[in-house]
Amino acid sequence: MRNKTLFMAPMLIALALFLQQCVVVHPGEMGIKQTLGKIIGKPNTQGLRWYNPFVSKVVLINIQTVEVFNVLPLPTKEGLSVNAEISLLYHLNPDSVQSVYTKFGTNYEEVMVLSNFRATAREISSRYFAKELYATERNKVERAIAEELTDHISKHGFVIDAVLLKDIILPPQMVQAIQEKVNAEQLALKMEYIIQQAQKEAERKVIEAEGIKKSQLIISESITQKQLDYNQIEMLKTLVNSPNSKIIITDGKTHLLNTTN
């Protein structure tokens, strides 16, 4: 048993030394190997990588999409300041990992990404009123920040996936004032719609009345005196032949029928 222990001890020591000289690059990471401060070769993809811990090191760089959540004070077009809960989703271009590390080090997120993100968010928000940030223009603000931030940092190897304006925190009295204004605007739009509908209905009735007037004019112009006399005779004929007692008063010019059977 003692001999076995003596045999295993050197094996364990050798294994420990070997593991100290290896690093595992996980999926979503790239490893940059430095020897005596100099970058050696291209960044390594996932897998087990060997290095000499006495003169070298392997720096792991995340290339997965990262969400950075911020609560930022943002200026508005009317000169107010509102707090915004806003998230940035971005990742590193794998082809630019070595360049990013060389230029900005491992603190690239704060040095390049977040500093530009804060400045861009403030610059874009200053173009909009607080009401627009709070209620109506969030999608436009998100797209504008993402597009302008992309213009600033994409050339350095950063890819902007999305900007999400999650909430705008306003004082309660401002929220109430904005809501009342929005409600008033919606009511005005509704009244405008009702007025338009009433105008259309009035126009329809005018057109209908004009059609009836034209129809009556055509009918009156097409009726002759002979037609009227004939209609009158037919009416009297129906009246005389009815079984009910009747008294017929005419102007003396009406043609009377001989109804004697």
In sequence order, which residues have a C-beta less than 8 Å from that of residue 148 and are 6 or more positions away?
120, 123, 124
E strands of 15-152, at which residues? 22-25, 29-35, 38-39, 47-50, 56-62, 66-75, 81-92
Q: Is the pLDDT of residue 134 over 70?
A: yes
Q: What is the tens place of the pLDDT at every residue in 226-261?
A: 666 666 667 766 766 666 655 656 655 555 544 444
pLDDT at 38: 79
Tell me the pLDDT band of 10, cut-offs 50, 70 and 90: low
Res. 222 pLDDT band, cuts 50 70 90: low
pLDDT on residue 19: 46
Name residue, tokens 């126009």: 203
**pLDDT above 90 coverage of the chain, percent:** 28
What confidence score (pLDDT) does residue 236 get? 67
Q: Which residue's structure tokens are 């097409």?
A: 222
Q: How would residue 51 be classed by pLDDT, with cut points 50, 70 and 90?
A: low
Q: What is the mean pLDDT of the chain?
A: 78
Inter-residue contact 83 to 164 (CB < 8 Å): no
CB atoms within 10 A of CB 35: 13
Q: How confident is the model at residue 156 (pLDDT cuts 50, 70, 90)?
A: very high
Beta bridge partners of 72: 84
Q: What are phi and psi of 147, to 5 degrees?
A: -65, -45
Higher local confidence (pLDDT), 177 or 148 = 148
In the prediction, which pLDDT does 15 show?
Answer: 43
The vertex-187 CA angle with 203 and 75, nearest 5°, equals 135
Average pLDDT over every residue of 15-40: 70
Side chain identity at residue 201, one-letter code: E
Q: Which residue has the tokens 């409600």?
A: 183
Tokens of 48: 């087990």
Q: Is the Cβ–Cβ distance between 91 and 64 less than 8 Å?
A: yes
Contact between 63 and 94 under an 8 Å Cβ cutoff? The reply is yes
Q: What tens digit of pLDDT does each residue of 69-103 get?
A: 989 999 988 888 888 999 999 999 999 999 999 99
For residues 242 and 246, what is the distance between their CA atoms, to the nearest angstrom?
9
174 has a pLDDT exceeding 50: yes
Q: Is it the case that residue 54 has pLDDT exceeding 80?
A: no
Token pair in block for residue 160: 């902007």
Nearest CA among 181, 69, 171, 186 for reference residue 132: 181
**pLDDT value of position 240:** 64
The CATH homologous superfamily for domain 66-170 is Band 7 domain (3.30.479.30)
- Domain limits, the chain: 2-62, 66-170
CA angle 231-233-239, nearest 5°? Answer: 105
For 127, which DSSP code? T
- Whether the pLDDT of residue 40 is over 80: the answer is no
How is the beta sheet containing 29-35 ordered, strand by strand? 38-39, 29-35, 56-62
Please state, in angstroms and rounded to a whole number, the distance separating the CA atoms of residues 125 and 83. Answer: 11
Joined together, the tokens standing for residue 15 give 């294994």
**Which pLDDT belongs to residue 215?**
76
End-to-end CA distance of the chain: 150
The predicted pLDDT at position 217 comes to 76
